[in-house]
């Protein structure tokens, strides 16, 4: 990169380069297309399933004029589950984009480097050992994720700097140790509690109610708004820490805020429905390839994550309608293949 090219790039993404709400036309078109696909898939999920409901009956129930059975299935069972999948898919995807930006590595997602496992550890400690409720479980998941994140960053830092590959290796090691702790906690719990925690630990959207969705929506709104506000400083950091500092950026504060926000998004999803893998890993990469951008691309990333999780949940419910699978099993199965491909791809680059 020549000095002139670098200067143009600094001017393009610098603090005074463009208004905060200015959106690239290609990104806007892609986001619109993705959200149309999400709406169509949501409509399909409303009237399909083990309880067959016609589109007319579903629409009648949505406007409050359906019979008792149809209204219960559409409004109380399916609608909050669909909205929860869209919300948490966006949260996980944006969390993955933040950490991949911080580490400069496509493998740097919270489910790979252990933050999601730490959130799960914090949640089951509160759930099984302390006997806490849903609010306490969410707080425990957030505390576990933040503590794991700072532990991984501390162990992977060298001379005040963190390298992406070192961070991923340390994160995988910490995740493996926390996974063994999780198994030990489950083994020491009662059979009923262990079964409940195991089902929850598979990542399950069944049983989501309006109260659960509204609680998750209220908690995630804070982190989502903070992530959008942090997108410009993080784009500025992509050109390099010394240059971002020279342009007046408080790099350390941005990094700490990004860790808290990214872990908060993951912990909220984990505390609500259990750990769900693959979305945070794949959605940012898919969005970048579709938009053809090397930046955060938070808008398309959130839309891709919402679409992926909703699609995975639809598939999970319809593989075996009499005994639906937890959505986490579907995402892990697909994510394992994607993770293997990504590792081979990164290996060839090196």
Chain segment 28-64, per-residue pLDDT in tens: 888 899 999 999 999 888 887 777 777 777 788 887 7
Q: What is the pLDDT of residues 135-183, one digit of tens each?
A: 788 788 888 888 888 888 888 877 655 566 788 888 889 989 999 999 9
Selection from 98-112, 232-246, 259-273 with the highest mean pLDDT: 259-273
Amino acid 116: pLDDT? 85
User: How far is CA 97 from each of CA 118, 183, 262, 278, 327, rounded to the nearest angstrom?
Assistant: 19, 29, 9, 12, 21
User: Over 50: is that where the pLDDT of 4 sits?
Assistant: no
**Euclidean distance between CA atoms 300 and 221, whole angstroms:** 17
Helical H segments across 3-63, by residue range: 3-13, 25-47, 55-62
pLDDT of 162: 59
pLDDT band at 241 (very low <50, low <70, confident <90, very high): low
Q: Return mean pLDDT, the chain.
A: 80
Is residue 17 scored above 70 in pLDDT? Answer: no
Q: What is the pLDDT of residue 15?
A: 42
Residue 247: the pLDDT is 63
Residue 183, CB half-sphere, CA atoms under 13 Å: how many?
Answer: 6
Output 11-16 pairs: Cβ under 8 A, ≥24 positions apart: 13/232, 13/235, 13/236, 13/238, 13/239, 13/295, 14/236, 14/247, 15/232, 15/236, 15/247, 15/248
Dihedral of the alpha carbons of 175, 177, 182, 187, in degrees to the nearest 10: 150
At residue 90, the pLDDT reads 94
- Percent of the chain at pLDDT exceeding 70: 85
pTM: 0.82
Res. 129: pLDDT tops 80: yes
Q: pLDDT tens, 326-341?
A: 888 888 877 777 777 7
CB 318 within 8 A of CB 49: yes
Q: Say if CB 125 and CB 294 are below 8 A apart.
A: no
| Higher-scoring residue by pLDDT: 157, 258 | 258
């Amino acid at each position: 990169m020549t000095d002139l090219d670098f200067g143009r790039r600094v001017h393009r993404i610098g603090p005074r380069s463009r208004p905060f709400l200015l959106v690239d036309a290609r990104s806007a078109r892609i986001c619109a297309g993705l959200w149309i696909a999400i709406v169509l898939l949501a409509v399909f999920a409303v009237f399909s399933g083990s309880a067959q409901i016609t589109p007319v009956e579903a629409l009648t129930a949505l406007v409050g004029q359906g019979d008792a059975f149809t209204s219960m299935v559409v409004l109380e069972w399916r609608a909050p589950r669909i909205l929860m999948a869209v919300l948490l898919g966006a949260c996980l995807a944006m969390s993955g984009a933040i950490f991949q930006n911080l580490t400069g590595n496509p493998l740097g997602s919270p489910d790979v480097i252990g933050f999601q496992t730490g959130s799960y550890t914090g949640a089951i400690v509160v759930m099984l050992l302390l006997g806490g409720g849903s609010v306490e479980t969410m707080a425990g998941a957030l505390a576990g994720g933040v503590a794991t994140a700072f532990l991984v960053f501390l162990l992977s830092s060298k001379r005040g700097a963190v390298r992406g590959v070192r961070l991923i290796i340390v994160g995988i090691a910490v995740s493996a140790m926390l996974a063994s702790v999780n198994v030990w906690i489950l083994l020491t719990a009662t059979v009923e509690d262990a079964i409940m925690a195991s089902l929850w630990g598979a990542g399950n959207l069944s049983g989501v109610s309006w109260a659960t969705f509204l609680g998750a929506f209220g908690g995630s709104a804070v982190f989502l708004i903070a992530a959008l506000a942090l997108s410009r400083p993080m784009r500025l950091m992509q050109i390099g820490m010394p240059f971002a500092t020279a342009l007046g950026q408080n790099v350390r504060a941005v990094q700490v805020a990004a860790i808290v926000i990214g872990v908060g998004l993951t912990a909220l999803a984990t505390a609500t429905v259990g750990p769900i893998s693959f979305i945070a890993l794949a959605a940012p990469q898919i969005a970048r390839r579709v938009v053809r951008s090397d930046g955060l691309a938070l808008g398309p990333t959130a839309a891709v994550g919402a679409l992926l999780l909703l699609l995975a949940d639809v598939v999970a419910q319809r593989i075996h309608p009499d005994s639906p699978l937890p959505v986490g099993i579907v995402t892990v199965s697909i994510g394992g293949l994607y993770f293997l491909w990504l590792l081979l791809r990164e290996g060839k680059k090196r």
